[in-house]
Amino acid sequence: MENNTGATTLERSFEKVNEILKKHGYQPSNLIAILQEIQAEYRYLPEEILTYVATALGVSPAYVYGVATFYAQFSLTPKGKHIIRVCDGTACHVKGSSQVLKVIRETLGLEEGKDTTDDLLFTVETVACVGACALAPVITIDDQVYGLLDEKKVREIIEAILEQEGGK
Amino acid sequence: MHFKDRAALEGYIEQLKSRPQPRRVLVCMGTGCLAKGAQKVYQSFVETLQRKGLNVEVDMDTSESSRHFALCSTGCMGICETGPRVRIEPEGIQYLRVSPEDVEEIVEETLEKGNIVYRLVQQETINGETRYWPLVKDDPFYRKQVRVVLRNCGSIDPESIDEYLRNDGYRALAKVVTSMTPDEVIAEVTKSGLRGRGGGGFPTGRKWQFARMVKADLKYVVCNGDEGDPGAFMNRCLMEGDPHAVLEGLAIAGYAIGAREGFIYVRAEYPLAVNRLRKAIESAYQAGLLGENILGSDFSFDIHIKEGAGAFVCGEETALIASIEGKRGMPRPRPPYPAQSGLWGKPTIINNVETLANVPQIILNGAEWFRSFGTPSSPGTKTFALTGKVKNTGLVEVPMGITLRELVFEVGGGIPGNKSFKAVQIGGPSGGCLTEAHLDLPIDYDSLCSAGAIMGSGGLVVLDEDTCIVEVARFFMSFTQSESCGKCVPCREGTKHLLGLLQKIVNGTASMEDLELLEETAQVVKDASLCGLGKTAPNPVLTTLRYFRDEYIDHIVHRICPAHVCQAMKEYRIDPEKCKSCGKCARVCPVKCISGRPRIPYVIDQDRCIKCGSCFEACPFDAITVEWRRKNHE
Ligand SMILES: Cc1cc2nc3c(=O)[nH]c(=O)nc-3n(C[C@H](O)[C@H](O)[C@H](O)COP(=O)(O)O)c2cc1C
Ligand code: FES
Ligand code: FES
């Protein structure tokens, strides 16, 4: 079963990955942009694709892996469909971002140590400032910014998405 | 249009300027206002104006008819908390917190009849008397500001090159490439005294001079739009609100040092900035203001965007270079400086977004004009992201040398909720805290340095009495610790150690020896780290120790948190009068520190209590109280 899905992902990946690699002229200097586009496509960076990219660019897999693990944006494990980023920048921190994070995790039923829900609907992460500090505390969901939050507002926002997803 | 030469550009600009301006409705589409629903407000204007048969021109308009309006979306107007914001020109009427339902009234009252809708206006109640500030120019928030860099931000459509041109856009570039030598450009910038706005305050002219002198076949210029500082968003607003100014500055820098290629490095968290920059680049190419032989001169220049991928250390020059080359963004020792050997080993200058946005203004108006703002050693203005416990949070630009008091209490409107001012944290995670004693300190590079803080890129977080200084220091340390790239030991291990010590203090388990250790380790990390990240990471600790040592001692010796923030300094107690000895609390206590017997009130062992609050929630008789520890009952 696992092997099966693995194989189909792989096949599917190579096509897309080839396109992306080609667009960037197989340039190692474009590695970050290449990985960004691959991640946009698959929501994470599957290991076999990293190896493939390394070969295609003529660099070592360790090099690609090194870059993929260095930057906060990249994930080597599958991420949820909706990415919730809780800002924990200075302004948000002094205005109560920890409480916001707590409420989100509670609402989604995320246990400690887990950032992605089992149904792969949500991933929750903290980021250092999304640059909308005047609206602190701030979260983003799939790049949409929500500001001036309190417990009640956060809960409503998350529940609205949950409802939408459930209703489909 | 595609401008063949300078005359064609100047002619077009004159033509744009001579057209009568229709009434303009500006709707802010900065990140802040978008988050509060500006898109719907804009849409509502489109529909309402059309429904009423008024002509809307989304672009600039040539007609003089009073039934013509230009509807225009802009970048951040500066005071996002009160968004969505709408401004009406030429009168300069500003409306706050506009919802789609308000639009009809604005159109009828203001656009058609010329009346002000007072309920949407900035207001302030002093001694029971309400005052209104319907006009931008009267608003206390703008009164002390001088907008050089932000002059277009919030008043032009960042996606229209015509709007930029009409405000003298690209005239500086035209002047430079057709009538000045690179040395003359550098001389002018040097004379202006412009210092890098990215934090260090290094003289921009001198940096360019270094790179100009190096002989090389290729050179690069890079605009640093990483802005990783938590609490800072000035560069974001500039890139979103006036992207052409950044491009123009970068091209002029390229001309000055002899580069033909430039990069803008923008962090991935700023998708709107990336989009607007891309659009701007595209229209600049179409207009012949980028690319081959700009305005018929020998100067050719290309600009590429590189998106970062979330690493604070990539703001550091050498790490940023590695990142553009597609590698891990690790810093390397300097020298060689990037001006000698940077991107792909070629001479490279790196400048901050705001530094570059100043350049066209200096070229157009001259170094003397620029020096008329600010102080002799720090000329010009500085943008700040004013946030935290202050009334008018937002984006501001003030002349250098303004005092902290003016900035926080006049521009910022003071502290909300009748709380008292405690400190400002300036310069982000590499900056420091300033206190009440510094309120009259002029803000410029040198005075800040002497007080142990730095300008940084301009993040300014106001802290009130409810903020715990030790917790803030811990917060910054946890930021730098997790962002340390790990290459050098002092930073990698030192920041971890410092964080551990701060955590201990916050948890109420530290001793005075730990405090000594904290101070010593901070000094070592500062002295021994490889790059700016580690060298400055201890600053928040060192400055708070300097100005708020008592508060550290309160946490360690008295186990109290004066600001009532650190949870470990709470105390749960059982009121013997109310306790019915039911034992529910003892059963839920995860550490079994509550004991008692039937008919005898239960007690909590304070030494073992972990302040989880389970007993408090479990008690059916409200017999358990929470109190903040105070000095006297120790
Ligand atoms: C850890 C670290 C992060 C930095 N982040 C930024 C940044 O986000 N933006 C920036 O312009 N400069 C940043 N700098 C400073 C740059 O290295 C560099 O000094 C600056 O971009 C030079 O431009 P300027 O001379 O115009 O100020 C950072 C420095 C360090 C050590
Ligand atoms: S600190 Fe949260 S948006 Fe900047
Ligand atoms: S985003 Fe609209 S005022 Fe800042």
Strands (E) in B52-150, as ranges, are 55-57, 68-74, 86-89, 93-95, 122-126, 129-133
Residue A82, beta-bridge partner list: A122
Lowest mean pLDDT among B66-70, B411-415, B606-610: B66-70
Residue ranges covered by each domain of chain A: 9-70, 82-164
Pocket of ligand 1 (CB under 6 A): B 196-200, 202, 224, 226-228, 312-313, 315-317, 350-352, 355, 457, 531-533
Say if B233 is an interface residue toward chain A (CB within 8 Å): yes
- pLDDT, position B228: 82
Lowest mean pLDDT among A34-38, A93-97, B243-247, B414-418: A93-97
Q: Would you call B513 exposed, middle or buried from its count of C-beta atoms within 10 A (0-12, 13-18, 19+)?
A: exposed
Q: Specify the ligand 3 atom closest to the Cα of B28.
A: 2
Tokens found for residue B339: 């001006």
Tens of pLDDT, residue by residue over B576-607, are 999 999 999 999 988 899 999 888 999 999 88
Tokens found for residue A164: 């939408």
- pLDDT, position B271: 87
The alpha carbon of residue B346 and the mean position of all alpha carbons in its chain are separated, in whole angstroms, by: 31
Measured between alpha carbons, how far is B84 from B599 in angstroms, rounded to an integer?
Answer: 61
Minimum-distance CB partner of A90 among B80, B230, B306: B230
Cis peptide before B230 (omega within 30 of 0): no
Percentage of residues in chain B with pLDDT exceeding 70? 97
Measured between alpha carbons, how far is B616 from B634 in angstroms, rounded to an integer?
Answer: 22
Residue B441 pLDDT level (bands cut at 50, 70, 90) = very high
Q: From the CA of A131, how far away is ligand 2's center (Å)?
A: 5
Chain A / chain B CB contacts < 8 angstroms? 136
Neighbours of B114 (CB within 10 A): 10
Residue B613 pLDDT level (bands cut at 50, 70, 90) = confident
* 3-state DSSP of B9-76: HHHHHHHHHHCCCCEEEEEECCHHHHHCCHHHHHHHHHHHHHHCCCEEECCCCCCCCCCEEEEEEECC
pLDDT of residue B574 exceeding 60, the answer is yes
In our burial notation (b when 16+ CB lie closer than 10 A, e otherwise), range B207-231 reads: bbbebbeeebeebbbbbbbbbbbbb
**Helix axes A47-57 and A31-42, enclosed angle (nearest 10):** 150
DSSP label at residue B420: P
Is A82-164 the same fold as A9-70? no
Residue of A nearest to B393 (CA): A134
Residue of A nearest to B480 (CA): A128
**Are B387 and A136 in contact, with CB atoms under 8 Å apart?**
yes
Tens of pLDDT, residue by residue over A19-65, are 999 999 999 999 999 999 999 888 899 998 999 999 999 999 999 99
Measured between alpha carbons, how far is B224 from B210 in angstroms, rounded to an integer?
Answer: 18
Tens of pLDDT, residue by residue over B506-534, are 998 999 999 999 999 999 999 999 888 99
B364: left (phi over 0), alpha (psi -120 to 50) or beta: alpha
Element (H, E) at B595: strand B594-597
- pLDDT, position A3: 42
Q: Would you call B391 exposed, middle or buried from its count of C-beta atoms within 10 A (0-12, 13-18, 19+)?
A: buried
* Class of domain B16-138 (CATH, top level): alpha beta
Residue B55 pLDDT level (bands cut at 50, 70, 90) = low
Residue B85 Cβ inside 6 Å of ligand 3? The answer reads: yes
- pLDDT, position A135: 85
Give the residue numbers in A contacting B (CB under 8 Å), as ranges.
Answer: 27-33, 35-36, 66-67, 70-74, 88-95, 127-136, 138, 143-148
Residue B75 Cβ inside 6 Å of ligand 3? The answer reads: no
Minimum-distance CB partner of A133 among B387, B389, B485: B387
Tens of pLDDT, residue by residue over B84-128, are 999 998 889 999 999 999 999 999 999 888 899 999 998 888 888
CA distance A8 to chain B (A): 28
Q: Is B490 helix (H, G, I), strand (E, B) or coil?
A: helix
Percentage of residues in chain B with pLDDT exceeding 90? 69
Tens of pLDDT, residue by residue over A107-136, are 999 988 889 999 889 999 988 778 787 788
Say if B397 is an interface residue toward chain A (CB within 8 Å): no
| Residues of chain A contacting residue B322, judged by C-beta atoms under 8 Å apart | none
**Are A105 and A115 in contact, with CB atoms under 8 Å apart?**
no
pLDDT of residue B31 exceeding 60, the answer is yes
B161-371: CATH architecture: 3-Layer(aba) Sandwich (3.40)
B381-467, CATH topology level: Ubiquitin-like (UB roll) (3.10.20)
Nearest CA to ligand 2 atom 1: A89
Cross-chain Cβ contact A135/B307 below 8 Å: no
CA distance B378 to chain A (A): 26
Integer CA distances (angstroms), B255 to B182, B216, B225, B252, B284, in order: 6, 14, 20, 5, 16
**Are B361 and B148 in contact, with CB atoms under 8 Å apart?**
yes
B470-556, CATH topology level: de novo design (two linked rop proteins) (1.20.1440)
> What pTM was computed for the model?
0.89
Tens of pLDDT, residue by residue over B173-192, are 999 999 999 999 999 999 99
Minimum-distance CB partner of A32 among B227, B309, B467: B309
pLDDT of residue A90 exceeding 70, the answer is yes
Tokens found for residue B356: 């570059």
Tokens 């003289």: give the residue: B203
ipTM of the complex: 0.84
Q: From the CA of B430, how far away is ligand 1's center (Å)?
A: 11
DSSP label at residue B316: S
CA distance A108 to chain B (A): 22
Say if B425 is an interface residue toward chain A (CB within 8 Å): yes
* pLDDT mean across residues, chain B: 91
Residue of A nearest to B80 (CA): A134
Look at the alpha carbons of B282, B284, B286, B288 in this order and tell me if their dihedral is positive or negative.
negative
Cross-chain Cβ contact B233/A35 below 8 Å: no
- pLDDT, position B388: 87
- The CATH number that domain A9-70 falls under is 1.10.10.1590
Measured between alpha carbons, how far is A5 from A9 in angstroms, rounded to an integer?
Answer: 6
Is B381-467 the same fold as B16-138? no
Q: In CATH terms, is domain A82-164 a member of 3.40.30.10?
A: yes
Residue B314: name the closest of B304, B322, B306 by CA: B322
Residue ranges covered by each domain of chain B: 16-138, 161-371, 381-467, 470-556, 570-628
Q: From the CA of B418, how far away is ligand 3's center (Å)?
A: 26
pLDDT of residue B456 exceeding 90, the answer is no
Nearest CA to ligand 1 atom 24: B196
- The CATH number that domain B570-628 falls under is 3.30.70.20
Most A CBs within 10 A among B269, B419, B425, hence the mutation to make, goes to B269
